[in-house]
Chains A and B, each alone.
Chain A
Amino acid sequence: MTMFPIIRRTDRILVQGLTGSQGSFWTERMLETGTQIVAGVSPKRAGETHLGLPIFASARAALAGMPVDIAVMFIPPAAVRDAALDAIEAGVRGLVVLTEHVPTHDMLTIFARAAAADCRIVGPNTAGLVTPGEAFVGIMPGHNTNVFQPGRIGVISRSGSLGTLICLNLTRAGFGQSSFIGIGGDPMIGTTTEDALRALDQDPRTDAVVLVGEIGGSMEETAATYAATMTKPVVSFIAGRAAPEGKRMGHAGAIVAGNAGSYAGKRAALEAAGVTVVDTPRVIADALSARLPIYAHDTA
């Protein structure tokens, strides 16, 4: 039984676009960490073996011959819709869409089909999922033990680079991670901050959660409502406090219009829900120590 969006070594993974340069590079990293990758999809290389894995023409062809739980896509934006629908129709339980700049109307089609097929989507524009020492899917340095160490802190981030920095700081402070959930930087995503928070709240291996948010949208505010019901401590950093209003800061989701999606609004909502909100990434570990006295680490 998969815990998706928490990734486990027992999850059987299909890599769509495995034979491309990025697909190959990251599949090797995923395999190094022990991720159970069972096959790849690449229409032009169907029937071949790549990195020791069988390559199929489609997700449907792959799933006809073997059980698969999760598909992860190394697919360019214009081809995401067809590849995603192929994986959903083939019957995967979860789909990780790493691609940035997928047309939103394609995502609308994908989300509707996924909902009908009871398939959970993570992303688009996510850096992926990491369970340190166990498995990872995506484009995170999940194989880098300076950044990721097994432990009991769950981490949620819209951003891959910032998520990496946060996990690195946690590891340096002696806090390993139970799981990293990259939810993606787009405004419309399959697994929201609240969904990820709920998954980590229900995960028996997670003692506390670090929620890395960003300005724009209303996901942090919605997640705050759920956080208020949790007994596990939540510490948060929200990026974009210094961002000027009305400018898109790279992530399509990170834009403040009027009061909607503002730093102040998110911080107030989270603090009202009992979440500790910190000013800089470096002090997240201190805030965790304060909320989890039993860990009491020296963060010097």
Chain B
Amino acid sequence: MNLLEHDAKTLILGPAGIKLLDSVLCRDADEAAIAVERLGPSVIKAQVPTGKRGKAGGIRVAESPAQAREVAQSILGMAISGHRVGAVLVETCAPIAREFYAAILHAPRERASLVLFAAEGGMDIEELAATRPDAIRRHLVTSPDRFDTADATAMLDGLELGDAAPAIADILVRLYRRYRETDAELIEINPLAQLNDGKLVALDCKFTLDDAAAFRQTSLAAVAQADPATSLETEGAALGLKYIELDGSVGILANGAGLTMTTMDVVRHYGGRPANFLEIGGDAYTKAEPALALLLKNPRVRALVVNFCGAFARTDVMARGVAEAWNRLKPDVPVFFSVHGTGEDEAVALVRRELGVDPFDFMEDAVCAAIEAAQ
């Protein structure tokens, strides 16, 4: 889950004591004009939880209130990577002497965290890594409660930061503390600017919250931005189901992410097109009934594969859910089962008895039958 720039600045950087320029969050063009009247020449930035805002025309300068009105008008309502712009941040312009890059993120392979700093900011970090790898400093934090001023200072050594070095080291230490406190997956300041008067300010901030920590980061989770979703995907999320709508005609209900992806792969392998990703693994295995009802709301579904392989998820419980939904909704699409693993005997008997169909021995056969029926 990502935060908007404005939320990331005020909720993450502000409390860490990292300085920001004066800014106002505006929801319409009039507000933007009033803000520029107060702040003077400003940058007007689309508030969407995605990168590449500048390239999409979502970041522009306004010199006057009249121009601010015009610019805000053109940015508000734009769609950037599927996100509709509902607000702009109007931030005062300041004379910049130098730009830097700072970020902290998970390092899965090392089971650690990675602090990144570059003496060149403003550009895409992947681009910088490709063109000037020596410009990026990396520090791996393997002992998660230890990243101090000495570590930060050592990592900046030799970068010719002049008298800004101690202040930058201090910012990195504060940022790391905040990264731990807020269950961040990523905090990025790009650029971190040194103004003509020497002051260091964060001109932009990206923040990604670890979804798994939403239960204890409730105030951040409340303002975090969801990915663009179809109405069925939103309905799925409300039911606690991971549902992704695709453009094919073979509906898929399986348990576990790995098995569900595999079922999609097999559909594609035999020339069919999956209509969805929908898995009811983990604790969600008891939700087979609402899951099936959701899946059948997609009008493109012409045939259905139910592929259960019970480990933790009991196939008898899942099969009962499917049978209940089926008998309630009486859908006019053929269904093809493959059922194995925990609870298999009862599940197979139940499918035969309640739905009058014989599960296939191999999931590949169930998939091929469904592809044929969907044509």
Q: What per-residue 1/0 map shows which CB atoms of B91-114 lie under 8 Å from chain A?
A: 000000000000000101101110
> A107 vs B111: C-alpha distance in the bound complex, in angstroms?
8
B282 near A112 with CB under 8 A, answer no
Across the interface, B261 reaches (CB within 8 A) one of A146, A163, A240, A282, namely A240
Q: B283's closest neighbor in chain A, by CB?
A: A100
* In the complex, B310 has a CB within 8 A of chain A: yes
* In the complex, A217 has a CB within 8 A of chain B: yes
Chain A residues contacting B213 (CB-CB under 8 Å) are: 103-105
B180 near A165 with CB under 8 A, answer no
A249 near B257 with CB under 8 A, answer yes
> A162 vs B279: C-alpha distance in the bound complex, in angstroms?
12
Q: What per-residue 1/0 map shows which CB atoms of B205-218 lie under 8 Å from chain A?
A: 00000111101100
* In the complex, B260 has a CB within 8 A of chain A: yes
In the assembled complex, the CB of A268 is this many whole angstroms from the nearest CB of chain B, namely 17
Q: A103-B216, A249-B261, A280-B364 are in contact. Are A164 and B210 (CB under 8 A)?
A: no
A105 near B180 with CB under 8 A, answer yes
A165 near B259 with CB under 8 A, answer yes
Prevailing SS type, chain B contact patch: mixed
CB under 8 Å from chain B, chain A span 236-267: 237, 239-244, 247-254
B109 near A222 with CB under 8 A, answer yes
In the assembled complex, the CB of B241 is this many whole angstroms from the nearest CB of chain A, namely 10
> A282 vs B109: C-alpha distance in the bound complex, in angstroms?
31
Across the interface, B259 reaches (CB within 8 A) one of A78, A161, A241, namely A161
* In the complex, A87 has a CB within 8 A of chain B: no
CB under 8 Å from chain A, chain B span 347-373: 362-364
Across the interface, A242 reaches (CB within 8 A) one of B212, B259, B264, B340, namely B264
> A157 vs B362: C-alpha distance in the bound complex, in angstroms?
19
Looking at B183, B279, B311, the one whose CB has the most chain A CB atoms below 10 A away is B311
In the assembled complex, the CB of B252 is this many whole angstroms from the nearest CB of chain A, namely 10
Chain A residues contacting B145 (CB-CB under 8 Å) are: 109
A162 near B309 with CB under 8 A, answer yes
Looking at A102, A109, A164, A239, the one whose CB has the most chain B CB atoms below 10 A away is A164
Across the interface, B262 reaches (CB within 8 A) one of A107, A127, A165, A253, namely A165
Chain A residues contacting B341 (CB-CB under 8 Å) are: 141, 144, 147, 161, 164-165, 168
Chain B residues contacting A168 (CB-CB under 8 Å) are: 309, 340-341
A163 near B106 with CB under 8 A, answer no
CB under 8 Å from chain A, chain B span 151-197: 180, 183, 185
> A146 vs B347: C-alpha distance in the bound complex, in angstroms?
15
- Please count how many residues in chain B sit with their CB below 8 Å of the partner chain's CB atoms: 54
* In the complex, A187 has a CB within 8 A of chain B: yes
Q: A279's closest neighbor in chain B, by CB?
A: B269
Prevailing SS type, chain A contact patch: loop
> A259 vs B363: C-alpha distance in the bound complex, in angstroms?
29
Chain A residues contacting B274 (CB-CB under 8 Å) are: 242
* In the complex, A214 has a CB within 8 A of chain B: yes
A161 near B254 with CB under 8 A, answer yes
> A164 vs B313: C-alpha distance in the bound complex, in angstroms?
11
A163 near B258 with CB under 8 A, answer yes
* In the complex, A94 has a CB within 8 A of chain B: no
Q: A103-B183, A108-B112, A218-B109 are in contact. Are A161 and B268 (CB under 8 A)?
A: no
Q: A103-B213, A144-B342 are in contact. Are A239 and B261 (CB under 8 A)?
A: yes
- Please count how many residues in chain A sit with their CB below 8 Å of the partner chain's CB atoms: 64
Q: B112's closest neighbor in chain A, by CB?
A: A108
In the assembled complex, the CB of B128 is this many whole angstroms from the nearest CB of chain A, namely 16
Q: A105-B210, A242-B264 are in contact. Are A254 and B257 (CB under 8 A)?
A: yes
* In the complex, A77 has a CB within 8 A of chain B: yes
> A54 vs B179: C-alpha distance in the bound complex, in angstroms?
41
A141 near B261 with CB under 8 A, answer no
A102 near B312 with CB under 8 A, answer no
A111 near B111 with CB under 8 A, answer yes
Chain B residues contacting A8 (CB-CB under 8 Å) are: none
B185 near A104 with CB under 8 A, answer yes
Looking at B180, B216, B265, the one whose CB has the most chain A CB atoms below 10 A away is B265
Chain A residues contacting B144 (CB-CB under 8 Å) are: 105, 108-109, 112
* In the complex, A132 has a CB within 8 A of chain B: no
In the assembled complex, the CB of A257 is this many whole angstroms from the nearest CB of chain B, namely 10
* In the complex, A188 has a CB within 8 A of chain B: yes
Chain B residues contacting A253 (CB-CB under 8 Å) are: 108
B256 near A162 with CB under 8 A, answer yes
B312 near A127 with CB under 8 A, answer yes
A243 near B277 with CB under 8 A, answer yes
In the assembled complex, the CB of A63 is this many whole angstroms from the nearest CB of chain B, namely 24
In the assembled complex, the CB of A190 is this many whole angstroms from the nearest CB of chain B, namely 7
> A244 vs B215: C-alpha distance in the bound complex, in angstroms?
28
Chain B residues contacting A160 (CB-CB under 8 Å) are: 256, 258, 281, 311-312
Q: A112-B142, A146-B344 are in contact. Are A243 and B108 (CB under 8 A)?
A: no
Given contacts A105-B210, A222-B109, 4 further A-B contacts (CB under 8 A): A144-B342, A161-B256, A162-B258, A192-B109
Mark B residues whose CB is within 8 Å of A.
Answer: 106, 108-109, 111-113, 142-145, 180, 183, 185, 210-213, 215-216, 242, 244, 246, 254-262, 264-269, 274, 277, 279, 281-282, 309-313, 340-342, 344, 362-364
Report 11 cross-chain contacts, Cβ distance below 8 Å, ordered by A residue.
Answer: A101-B211, A103-B183, A109-B144, A161-B256, A161-B310, A162-B256, A189-B108, A242-B274, A244-B246, A249-B277, A280-B265
Mark A residues whose CB is within 8 Å of B.
Answer: 77-78, 100-105, 107-109, 111-112, 115, 127, 139-141, 144, 146-147, 157-165, 168-169, 185, 187-190, 192, 212, 214-215, 217-219, 222, 237, 239-244, 247-254, 279-282
